[in-house]
């Protein structure tokens, strides 16, 4: 198919180009998008939570710049719950649930300068934490507190737009007691900062151990694409799913595809981040049962209820308001056994 005949789509990513997204780029490099008559333009993002309002805003205002609005996105399913529960317009729909465990964490030094180690949620009382603005883990801190009994008012949170690779050394130097983020993002940033064994210097208080209701990243599509071009969406998911299957088989090949798109990106830290994501956020028992891309409706409803009740939101969405499995590739074609867990 010639370039002029391709269906061109715009995709909003969750953050800057990084290892956990590498399956998108491997699908592109190996011609799976072209096989489906597609070309996707990827736009780097700032946080997973911001993908949803960016998709909704651009769709509403038609200010997508060159190429028009975003058609698809990669963002935080919990931020989508909040968008719909608040009654905000133009919500996209999740069509491929990539993470079956939430990636959120509060990372703390194993050997803090204060001499007082933080090993449990209760130990965070009276501490100083740092987060990126609109960080997904920070956005769900109230839910973490509701489940653990921690008083959120007892914790001081400072916002910083500095890269995680700069925040980690300052954290270890004692400027803060902990930082919000994604587990494997913090590990990769630590490697970029020169730490060779981050888990020997950092302890991770992981949300999935305390708030198991929560999901994580999902592929999203606009309602217009779903309504007007369902075959296009099916083609997108077929192509990207093939990229994920190849990534599971050969993570290093996926990182090479990432580096071709973003020359100079750090190979080791992004490979570590990808492998960690496959093992931690995507490699859970639910994925083996349902296949990556699907989710458990009852669990999603528990997550909805937790967020709505904690934040006292005006609407209570149902799982069908947020997610549809109608366009997924068949279970036999989707990943079920991912990178061996640590």
CA 289 to chain centroid, in Å, comes to 21
pLDDT given for residue 216 in this prediction: 95
- Own/partner contacts of 54-57, CB < 8 Å, gap of 24 or more, are 54/12, 55/12, 55/90, 55/92, 55/220, 55/222, 56/83, 56/88, 56/89, 56/90, 56/91, 56/92, 57/90
Q: Which residues of the chain have pLDDT under 70?
A: 1-3, 58-68, 339-342
Domain ranges (residues) in the chain: 3-101+215-333, 104-210
Extract the tokens encoding 112: 């803090």
**Separation CA 145–CA 122 (nearest Å):** 9
Residue 57 confidence (pLDDT): 82
Q: What is the DSSP string of 44-91?
A: --S-TTTHHHHHHHHHHH----TT-S--EEEEEHHHHHHHHHTT-SS-
Cβ–Cβ < 8 Å for 94, 237: no
pTM as predicted: 0.91
pLDDT in tens, 185-217: 898 888 888 888 888 899 999 999 999 999 999
Burial 104-129 (b: 16+ CB within 10 A, else e): bbbbbbeebeeeeebeebebbeebeb
Q: Nearest 5 degrees, angle CA 149-CA 151-CA 155?
A: 130
Asked if domains 3-101+215-333 and 104-210 share a fold, the reply is: yes
Q: Select 104-210's CATH number: 1.10.540.10, 1.10.420.10, 3.40.190.10, 3.40.50.20.
A: 3.40.190.10
Return the pLDDT at 340.
53
The sign one gets for the Cα dihedral 303, 241, 247, 254 is negative
Residue 200 gets which letter from DSSP?
A: G
Looking at residue 68, its pLDDT comes to 44
- What is the CATH topology of the domain spanning 3-101+215-333? D-Maltodextrin-Binding Protein; domain 2 (3.40.190)
Helical ranges in 134-284 per DSSP H: 136-139, 141-148, 164-172, 183-192, 207-210, 223-228, 230-249, 251-261, 267-280
Q: How far apart are CA 266 and CA 314, in angstroms?
A: 44
**For the segment 3-12, what is each residue's pLDDT rounded down to a tens digit?**
679 999 999 9
pLDDT of residue 312: 97
Q: What does the pLDDT read at residue 62?
A: 53
Query: Taking the CB of residue 150, how many other CB atoms lie within 10 A of it?
Result: 19
293's torsion region: left (phi>0), alpha (psi -120 to 50) or beta?
A: left
Q: What was the pLDDT predicted at 116?
A: 80
């Amino acid at each position: 198919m010639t370039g002029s005949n391709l269906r061109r789509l715009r995709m909003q990513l969750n953050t800057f180009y990084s290892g956990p997204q590498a399956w998108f780029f491997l699908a592109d490099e190996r011609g799976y998008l072209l096989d489906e008559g597609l070309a996707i333009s990827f736009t780097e993002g700032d946080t997973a939570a911001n993908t949803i309002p960016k998709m909704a805003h651009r769709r509403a205002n038609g200010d997508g710049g060159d190429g028009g609005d975003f058609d698809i996105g990669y963002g935080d399913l919990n931020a989508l719950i909040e968008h719909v529960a608040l009654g905000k317009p133009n919500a996209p729909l999740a069509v491929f649930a990539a993470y079956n465990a939430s990636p959120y964490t509060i990372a703390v030094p194993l050997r803090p300068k204060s001499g007082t180690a933080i090993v449990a949620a209760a130990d965070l009382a009276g501490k100083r934490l740092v987060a990126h603005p609109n960080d997904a883990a920070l956005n769900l801190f109230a839910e973490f507190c509701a489940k653990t009994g921690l008083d959120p008012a007892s914790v001081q949170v400072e916002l910083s737009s500095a890269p995680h690779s700069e925040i980690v050394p300052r954290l270890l130097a004692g400027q803060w007691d902990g930082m919000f983020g994604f587990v494997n993002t913090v590990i990769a940033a630590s490697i970029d900062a020169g730490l060779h064994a981050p888990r020997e210097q950092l302890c991770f208080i992981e949300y999935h151990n305390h708030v198991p209701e929560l999901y994580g990243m999902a592929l999203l599509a606009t309602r217009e694409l779903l309504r007007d071009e369902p075959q296009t969406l099916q083609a997108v998911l077929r192509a990207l799913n093939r990229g994920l299957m190849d990534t599971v088989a050969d993570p290093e090949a996926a990182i090479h595809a990432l580096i071709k798109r973003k020359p100079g990106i750090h190979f080791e830290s992004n490979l570590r981040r990808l492998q960690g994501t496959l093992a931690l956020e995507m490699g859970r028992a639910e994925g083996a049962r349902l296949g990556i891309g699907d989710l458990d409706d009852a669990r999603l409803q528990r997550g909805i209820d937790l967020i709505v009740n904690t934040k006292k939101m005006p609407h209570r969405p149902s799982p069908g308001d947020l997610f549809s499995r109608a366009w997924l590739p068949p279970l036999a074609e989707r990943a079920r056994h991912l990178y061996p867990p640590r």
